[in-house]
Structure 1
Amino acid sequence: MKKVAVILSGCGAYDGAEIQEAVLTLLALDRAKAEVTCAAPEIAQKHVINHITGEEMVDEDRSVITEASRITRGNIQSLDTIQSGDFDAIIFVGGFGVAKNLSSYAFDGPDYDIDPEVLDLIHHAHAEGKALGFMCISPVLAARALGEKGVQLTIGNDRETAAALEAKGAKHVDCPVDEAVTDKENRVVTTPAYMLAQSITDAEAGINKLVASVLEMA
């Protein structure tokens, strides 16, 4: 049985983990009989967004791990308690929480950096030869952590985002929503998911391929 860590960045497309991406990932892993551990950092969300209006709820303060636990029915670990050596693979779910909570991409654009715990986890996993999956906007994490390795990845076909990732040393590959890009040398799999998806079915096709490729590589 493959052991997989799934990393979340909150709960909600506009300020945390993209819920449909998270559920599709967990479903695909469960169908594959993988043993899953979900984790999130114990940090404050940068924003809390009203998902009906799209407006910031300025008087709200929420915890990334507490919000992420809504998706996992409370079964979640703090990111600082997990070790890459305990897993065969690690998958990062997308959503604006990646760009706001796990990195500064939403605020700093091409000059962004990523959370030190996330950076360390990716570095250690890569050094140990673990399989890594990144969907939606989360390839920004791979570009920052593994750009110097020339990691090959995709966020779909958005030129501005692709240029920001390439500025970190990554090699961007345009990819349709129902496909995934596999960098066998760096053991990284990426798929556009809701960077391109117009429906949950659109997102599912690429996520299923990402999960299958990650598990095959693990």
Structure 2
Amino acid sequence: MSKTIGVLLAGCGVFDGAEIHEAVLTLLFLDRAGVAVRCMAPDMDQLHVIDHLSQQEADEKRNVLVESARIARGEIQDIAEVHATDIDALIVPGGFGAAKNLSDFAVKGPECTVHAEVQRLLTEMVDAGKPIGAICIAPATVVRSLADRSPKVTIGNDVGTAAAIGTMGGEHVDCSVADIYVDEKNRIVTTPAYMLGPGIKDVAIGIEKLVDKVVSLC
């Protein structure tokens, strides 16, 4: 029976949603691995909308689930409808949406709160012993959600973010863009991706390793 891997999206676009390259590479490598994919996102307004051409905040509202549906080609559901019993693993691509919509880490740092449904699903996954993959800045939200498990993650080598992860109860491990870090105890796999970059060919190496590891842990 084919494994089903959940992909948790946070909108569409690096500055206010899911990082599109990271999300698409995740979907590509999952498809190559021959697994079924279930995309999901919270049904909520984005923190804000960024014009990706000017990189300035725009005076409009957008819904995280509706925007995420662009990446998922419409095949997506509200995270509130997804439980750990429905999937064998969960992967969270990065982009500022992971730290603005899935949590408010981008605004509040270590004092952030995590979206209730994101918190619920991440906790369910760890309680069930099912693997979690987190890419780029997404590990910060995972650490905040699972602080009581003292997760070990990487976001690359950014000193400020690494310190915040420590403050939240996690442990940061420096890592290159081409590598992954595996928290064997909690079954959490992380890779820096665009926290280091610089380009899509570079981030693809670590993301492919992360996907392969997550699938193998199922």
Give the percent of matched residue pairs that are identical in Structure 1 and Structure 2.
Answer: 47
Shift >2 Å, 4+ stretches: none
For residues 8 and 27 of structure 2, the distance between their equivalents in structure 1, rounded to whole angstroms, comes to 11
Alignment of 1:40-119 (within 5 A): 40-58=41-59, 60-119=60-119
**2:189 match: secondary structure:** strand
> How far 1:103 sits from its partner (Å)?
0.6
User: TM-score normalised to the size of structure 1?
Assistant: 0.98
Q: Which amino acid aligns with 1:128?
A: A
Does the CA contact (< 8 Å) of 2:105 and 2:141 recur in 1? no
Instruction: Tell me the alpha carbon deviations over residues 148-174 of structure 1, each in whole angstroms, 9 at most, x when there is no partner.
Output: 212110000001001111111111000
Alignment of 1:105-144 (within 5 A): 105-144=105-144
Aligned to 1:15: 16
Aligned to 2:200: 200
Q: Which amino acid aligns with 1:25?
A: T
For residues 65 and 21 of structure 1, the distance between their equivalents in structure 2, rounded to whole angstroms, comes to 17
**Counterpart check, 1:31 vs 2:49:** no
> How far 1:132 sits from its partner (Å)?
0.4
CA RMSD of aligned residues (A): 0.7
> How far 1:194 sits from its partner (Å)?
0.6
Aligned length: 217
Q: Which amino acid aligns with 2:18?
A: A
For residues 166 and 196 of structure 1, the distance between their equivalents in structure 2, rounded to whole angstroms, comes to 19
Q: Which amino acid aligns with 1:84?
A: A
Aligned to 1:163: 163
> How far 1:147 sits from its partner (Å)?
2.0
> How far 1:101 sits from its partner (Å)?
0.7
> How far 1:146 sits from its partner (Å)?
1.8
**1:210 match: secondary structure:** helix
Does the CA contact (< 8 Å) of 1:143 and 1:166 recur in 2? no
